[in-house]
Structure 1
């Protein structure tokens, strides 16, 4: 009877091609895939968030004897310098100490991998994910738009609100802080004394930033859980912001011609009746007032219509992302998404034409469209987070105006 021989690890083969003395290790994970992996080059678990990550996207602090991943690191810099055929490695800022650490690929190269310095840890395979296959980090499903009512949407955001709010700091989440908001505030200009509605205010972070710039701010959101976060912050550190609960498609709490400016930041792709929301915005804006909103880019948003092709599929090296597969662009569907084993929130895929037509039908004129990109500083400090944003835009910003009547 023939003896089955375990295939060589995908990464061991890569390293051996650049270091002839490197020893192959047998693959024990993802055996049936094109990228079988040995224990050393498998996925390791972050001691902060608990998620498993490709070994090239997780670092180790020897002082704390703990692993931490890209997402839990305040900074991820690409440290140039060729090794084993790779032109750089990711160096992560430690969440516990004021120092940086290379990821496990570089630590192995330098002889400082925790399994090289701690034989007991190596025998016990400390830090390694016990899973045999690459598991999806995000949970996704698609269903017809007609199945999602405003109530269903609101309940989904209430259910996921705790996780969502946990991603936010003073400046929002990483995308808002580093990519969207710099462009948004540049387009907003001077807001001092302006009456501004934060439409879909969520945790209220943007409302507070607008108030700090001198705006008179009102915030509205349909999620009671997110509103509670915003109101609690307002009670602890008052800015004079008035928050109310409501569906953006129906805002009876606001009179006609109330606001000089409406801002909606990565919200409208999640609104059930977005056409009605645009009509309400038009009603409560004064003539000549502006609507400035950002959305996930309808041409490239993930998981529909865009999906990155990665080889291996959990690679954190953007150069190993072969391209973005775009398909089924005209499928107008509801998308449920969230971290694996967490409550899902619901949003919608719509076409660019859908948004433009809804604005036109509501009486708006589109003044400007921008596709924001990360700054040089963002790319330096958050390399892995943003390197792919220079290949394909993830967000779209639209400025629309409620036109003034022609002069007689």
Structure 2
């Protein structure tokens, strides 16, 4: 698509506008969504070992990069936002190698080192990337045979453009029961849209909806096999505005690179 470079430029500009706010909001410990939904399943699927060489794609302010380093991994962390990388370096430059790299630039990605990484990870970022095929193609060369790539995205079955979150209270045999549901009328068509990830962020950022089949087929094309996946939800005691208890707000994939 001829518009990909322009979309990437717009997307990067949006994240530059949001970078300071995002770093201040996430801080050292990130938010409940990352702590309770993303991090536990990602760590489980990634199977981190001491001295693993790991690439963190679209690292943001480096929250998860620091967690990987705590677990004994050697981490290279990349992001296309200059401000994000600067902010991440201020927090942990001495233990992590941060680089400003555009994940949509195949040649630039290869400079990170072919056959270098035991594993790669990306938390809640691929749905923000305009064109993911160059990244997947590059990872097929950057990751060692039988290495894995674990990534999370908003769940494309339940968080699609225009989806309506519905909360209803009904009487059931003398009891009042509150239910939460999602109404949607589109899923299979890929599309771009603007969204707010955190209330108060300075500018809406671009997101790119893709069905599950797109990811599975694209990774298969470049020599990866789907090894596992997770669809974590909040626990019953969660007190969110919309309680993602029976409906997963995110999905986490683990793809393994086939040998050869």
Report the TM-score, using the length of structure 2 for normalisation: 0.87
Structure 2 equivalent of residue 308 of structure 1: 165
8 A Cα contact 2:112 2:142, kept in partner: yes
Note the alpha carbon deviations across 1:201-241, whole angstroms, 9 max, x for none: 00001000000000000000001111111011124xx3x20
Change in 2 beyond 3 A, CA 1:262/1:158: same
Structure 2 equivalent of residue 68 of structure 1: none
Partner of 2:183, secondary structure, is strand
Q: 2:101 aligns with which of 225, 239, 246?
A: 246
8 A Cα contact 1:249 1:280, kept in partner: no
Displacement after TM superposition at 1:340 (Å)? 6.3
Q: 2:157 aligns with which of 299, 308, 319?
A: 299
Q: 1:373 aligns with which of 233, 238, 252?
A: 233
Note the alpha carbon deviations across 1:360-385, whole angstroms, 9 max, x for none: 112111111111123x4xx43xx222
Query: In the alignment, does 2:16 pair up with 1:158?
Result: yes
8 A Cα contact 2:46 2:148, kept in partner: no
C-alpha distance in 1, partners of 2:226/2:79? 25
Give the alignment's Cα RMSD to 1 decimal: 2.2
Partner of 1:354, secondary structure, is helix
8 A Cα contact 1:289 1:402, kept in partner: yes
Report the TM-score, using the length of structure 1 for normalisation: 0.57
8 A Cα contact 2:110 2:138, kept in partner: no
8 A Cα contact 2:77 2:96, kept in partner: yes
Change in 2 beyond 3 A, CA 1:385/1:352: same
C-alpha distance in 2, partners of 1:341/1:206? 21
Alignment of 1:308-387 (within 5 A): 308-310=165-167, 320=178, 323-338=181-196, 339=199, 342-374=202-234, 376=235, 379-380=236-237, 383-385=238-240
> Which stretches in structure 2 are left out of the alignment for 5+ residues?
170-176
Structure 2 equivalent of residue 281 of structure 1: 139
After TM superposition, where is structure 1 displaced by more than 4 Å over at least 4 residues in a row?
A: 145-148, 319-322
Displacement after TM superposition at 1:320 (Å)? 4.8
Structure 2 equivalent of residue 194 of structure 1: 52
8 A Cα contact 2:46 2:149, kept in partner: no
Note the alpha carbon deviations across 1:279-337, whole angstroms, 9 max, x for none: 111110011111111111111115x253212469xxxxxx6555210211123221212
How many equivalent residue pairs? 246
C-alpha distance in 1, partners of 2:74/2:181? 44
Displacement after TM superposition at 1:189 (Å)? 2.3
8 A Cα contact 2:165 2:242, kept in partner: no
Query: In the alignment, does 2:142 pair up with 1:257?
Result: no
Structure 1 equivalent of residue 172 of structure 2: none
C-alpha distance in 1, partners of 2:117/2:45? 17
C-alpha distance in 2, partners of 1:205/1:343? 22
Structure 1 equivalent of residue 245 of structure 2: 390
Partner of 2:181, secondary structure, is strand
> Which stretches in structure 1 are left out of the alignment for 5+ residues?
1-144, 313-318
**Higher mean displacement: 153-162 or 164-173:** 164-173
8 A Cα contact 1:148 1:334, kept in partner: no
Displacement after TM superposition at 1:357 (Å)? 1.3
Note the alpha carbon deviations across 1:243-284, whole angstroms, 9 max, x for none: 001111331331210100001111111111111111111110
Note the alpha carbon deviations across 1:102-150, whole angstroms, 9 max, x for none: xxxxxxxxxxxxxxxxxxxxxxxxxxxxxxxxxxxxxxxxxxx869521
C-alpha distance in 2, partners of 1:309/1:387? 8
Bigger Rg, structure 1 or 2: 1
C-alpha distance in 2, partners of 1:227/1:205? 12
Structure 1 equivalent of residue 174 of structure 2: none
C-alpha distance in 1, partners of 2:66/2:211? 31
Change in 2 beyond 3 A, CA 1:217/1:341: closer
Displacement after TM superposition at 1:387 (Å)? 6.7
Q: Which fold has the larger relative contact order, with Cα–Cα distance below 8 Å and residues 6 or more apart in sequence? A: 2
